[in-house]
Structure 1
Amino acid sequence: MPSPGARRRARPSGRRPLVHVALAALVLVGGTAAGTVFMRARALEGGSLAVSSAASSSVSPSASASTAPGADAVAEEASVEPVAAPEVDHDELLAAALADVPVEDGAAVSVAVLDLASGDSAGYGDARFDTASIVKTDILAALLLQAQDAGRRLTAQEKAYAATMIRDSDNVSATALWKAIGQADGLDAANARFGLTDTEGGDGLYWGLTQTTAADQLALLRQVFGDDDTSELSAASRAYVQELMGRIAEGQDWGVSAASGATSGSGFALKNGWLPRTATGLWDINSVGRVTVDGREYLVAVVSDGNTTKAKGIALVEAAARAAVSVFGATAGATTTS
């Protein structure tokens, strides 16, 4: 496997100074004070100013003739239109949030997250990682897509395999369904339709060595948790995968679920993957799924490798998932008005 790129640090973003200006003008017509015009200037980011005044900067002769000398004509302040919120760079915010997540020397992590309510997403890293058992969601999605194409339902045996493969992460069941879909060729064909562009099925029966990116795993999650307009899977197929991912066996419900703070599947639906490397003794730790935080739903994919222990890999994945969701928690529903 090509070594993932080194983890990068986000560049701190600078703050633009705000300039507050107040302008007052005394307009004289024919040597007589016709009125005092107050204009208010409001500072915008970048030093640009928005000036508002209902009164004209000049007074017409008819207006000055009808106004007794010395009388004050106070300009009526016009309403100010709301200023659009500045564009948010969620990738930069995610990089900054991940800068506070400790990563072991030699380890690497990549993250992708989508706010389902707004449609905004963020990504960190584009290296490819071994899937380990998170590919089991992909295997099931490919099986369901093939069944849809054939106009059939899953058999009782296929359902039994699917249930233990997702809920218990059973490898024997995964191998059986891997063969059923045509192994790597079947997976790759389904992924081409799912929009996964950087995922390649593992050789032979090594489905756990399928290579993927966090961005591709987010694309797969959109197939599972999307709708008829965004997914190749039918509503029934999506509901089936979601139901299985929402009932993960006790002891395997770590990972992206940490971002939800929930202790049961009501707050998350996920699939995890973990793989000790025999050559190095290091761990691949991955987690993908949907989490609900303060009533908002997010799709989160975290992949990592080079962890010295399973526990440290899990801690990294969970911290990265919390950082990913925090990017949108800080900006959700934010508007700028004045």
Structure 2
Amino acid sequence: MSYPSSPSPSKTASRSRVRRAGACAGVLLASVTALFSAGALHAAPALAAPTEQSSATAAVQPRSKERVTAAVLRLDGASREPVLYGRDAPYDTASIIKVDILAALLLQAQDAGRQLTDQERALAGPMIRNSDNAATNVLWRKIGQAPGLEAANKRLGLTSTKGGPGGKWGLTQTTASDQVRLLRAVFDTAGTPETHSSALNAQSRAYITSLMSRVAKDQAWGVSAASGTEWALKNGWLQRTTSGLWDVNSVGRVTVDGHHYLVAVLSDGSASMSDGVSLVERTARQAVAAAARR
């Protein structure tokens, strides 16, 4: 009768390395899942140098399935409806929803005849300027999650935005034209009650504008590529756990040759965050330039 021979030391070490690698992969997957459940999974800043990838990782990098839509409204133009570039389909918001959450919070405070509390301001600032997810989690619950958001959006004139399930505010669905409607509620001082621009009072609009005009340096990309030095914006990015592809969005107001434009660029299906940022910035420049020629 023959017996299996004992493994050699080199094979034993190799199997040990495989077991350790598998354990590390399990920890990494659990960490990603936990981050995603908070609402939106943020990566390193877009302009950071990419980390080195092994050939094995590069071989399984997801293929791009990019899709992008832009909506642009010139504030001093004759029309009150945005010009669309691409199909006005729903996209996940990722962190651009944070502007909408703040608008809902301010509307609720207005209804109660009060200012934001010190605690609310201490959360709202980092939520917009640094895209802080922990602060967003608190304020999302504060406004009543999706039902509270949607009640506010009816007053702000949004018609195609559906709040994310439970605590997953980053999975709120919206369209580029709806994001311009939200931007009008913040930046369009020439509106009338019929256009919903007066739902936020002047103080609330000024507060949102001040935060969007002073985002942290690592957040200063996106629609600002279509402007010079004057802009106010909020960006969002999210890597999908199922496909590995990226949602990258940017909304805000830019100034070009003395004219103010409201710009929303929504995208998904990029193979990397940097690809998504490039797509959004390229689209923003093209869309604003086309709107300027009208």
> Do the structures match in fold with TM over 0.5?
yes
Larger RCO (CA under 8 A, 6+ residues apart): 2
Which residue of 208, 212, 231 corresponds with 2:170? 208
Aligned-residue offset at 1:160:
0.7
> Could you report, residue by residue, the CA deviation over 1:191-222 in whole angstroms, capped at 9, with x for unpaired residues?
11111111000010000000000010000000
Unaligned runs of 5+ in 2: 1-62
The question of whether the paired residues in 2 share the 8 Å contact of 1:112 and 1:122 is answered with yes
Matched, 1:241 2:208: yes
The 1:187–1:136 alpha-carbon spacing in structure 2 relative to 1, beyond 3 Å, is same
The question of whether the paired residues in 2 share the 8 Å contact of 1:222 and 1:231 is answered with no
Matched, 1:258 2:250: no
Which has a greater percent of strand?
1
Which has a greater percent of helix?
2
SS of equivalent to 1:151: coil
SS of equivalent to 2:207: helix
Aligned-residue offset at 1:328:
2.6
> Could you report, residue by residue, the CA deviation over 1:102-136 in whole angstroms, capped at 9, with x for unpaired residues?
xx852111110000011433013121000000000
Q: Equivalent residue for 1:138? A: 100
> Could you report, residue by residue, the CA deviation over 1:222-242 in whole angstroms, capped at 9, with x for unpaired residues?
001022622310000000000
How many residues in Structure 1 have an aligned counterpart in Structure 2? 224
Matched, 1:150 2:90: no
Q: Equivalent residue for 1:123? A: 84
Residue identity matched to 2:65:
G
Q: Equivalent residue for 1:269? A: 232
| d(CA) in 2 for partners of 1:106, 1:283 | 10
The question of whether the paired residues in 1 share the 8 Å contact of 2:265 and 2:284 is answered with yes
Counting aligned pairs with the same residue, the percent is 60
Which residue of 291, 307, 311 corresponds with 2:254? 291
Aligned-residue offset at 1:143:
0.3
The 1:237–1:199 alpha-carbon spacing in structure 2 relative to 1, beyond 3 Å, is same
Residue identity matched to 1:247:
R
| d(CA) in 2 for partners of 1:280, 1:159 | 36
Aligned-residue offset at 1:324:
1.2
> What TM-score, normalized by structure 2, do the two folds share?
0.74
The question of whether the paired residues in 2 share the 8 Å contact of 1:112 and 1:123 is answered with yes
Q: Equivalent residue for 1:193? A: 155
Which residue of 303, 306, 317 corresponds with 2:266? 303
Which runs of structure 2 are paired with 1:45-56 in the superposition (5 Å)? Answer: none
Which runs of structure 2 are paired with 1:43-122 in the superposition (5 Å)? Answer: 106-120=65-79, 121-122=82-83
Aligned-residue offset at 1:293:
0.5
Larger Rg: 1
* CA RMSD, Structure 1 to Structure 2 (Å): 1.2
Aligned-residue offset at 1:316:
0.5
> What TM-score, normalized by structure 1, do the two folds share?
0.65
Runs of 4+ in 1 over 6 A off after TM superposition: none
Q: Equivalent residue for 2:39? A: none
Which residue of 126, 130, 133 corresponds with 1:168? 130
Aligned-residue offset at 1:164:
0.3
Unaligned runs of 5+ in 1: 1-103, 332-338
The question of whether the paired residues in 2 share the 8 Å contact of 1:285 and 1:303 is answered with yes
| d(CA) in 1 for partners of 2:102, 2:206 | 12
Residue identity matched to 1:304:
S
SS of equivalent to 2:289: helix
